[in-house]
Amino acid sequence: MAKQTSRNADLYGLNDRGRLAVGLRADINVIDFENLTVSPPKAFHDLPAGGTRLIQPVKGYLATLVKGQVTRRHDADTGARPGSLVRS
C-alpha cells in the first residue's frame, strides 16, 4: 500500500498527504471491492476550444474524503469541494 500512498507523496514533496494521521489532509477512498465495477472510458467534448476528456464511470466507492470532508458517498456527489489545485 505504501507504494501507492506515502512513497508517491514523499517523491513529489506532498508532505501533508499519503498517510492517515492527525494534522494531515485525510484524503481517502473507501471501496467495496466485492461490488466494484469499472465501465469503459467515454469521451466528453466539453473542454475549452473543443478539447476532449475521457471519463471512466466506476461504481462501488462507498466514500471519498478530501481534507477529511466527504465529497462522494455511495457513488453520489455530496457537493463538498474542499480540494485545491496542486502545483509543482
Domain ranges of the chain: 25-81
CA angle 67, 9, 6 (to 5 degrees): 90
Residue 42 banded pLDDT, cuts 50, 70, 90: very high
Gap between the Cα atoms of 84 and 88, Å rounded: 13
Gap between the Cα atoms of 71 and 46, Å rounded: 22
60-77 pLDDT per residue, tens: 999 999 998 999 999 999
- Give me the chain's average pLDDT, please: 92
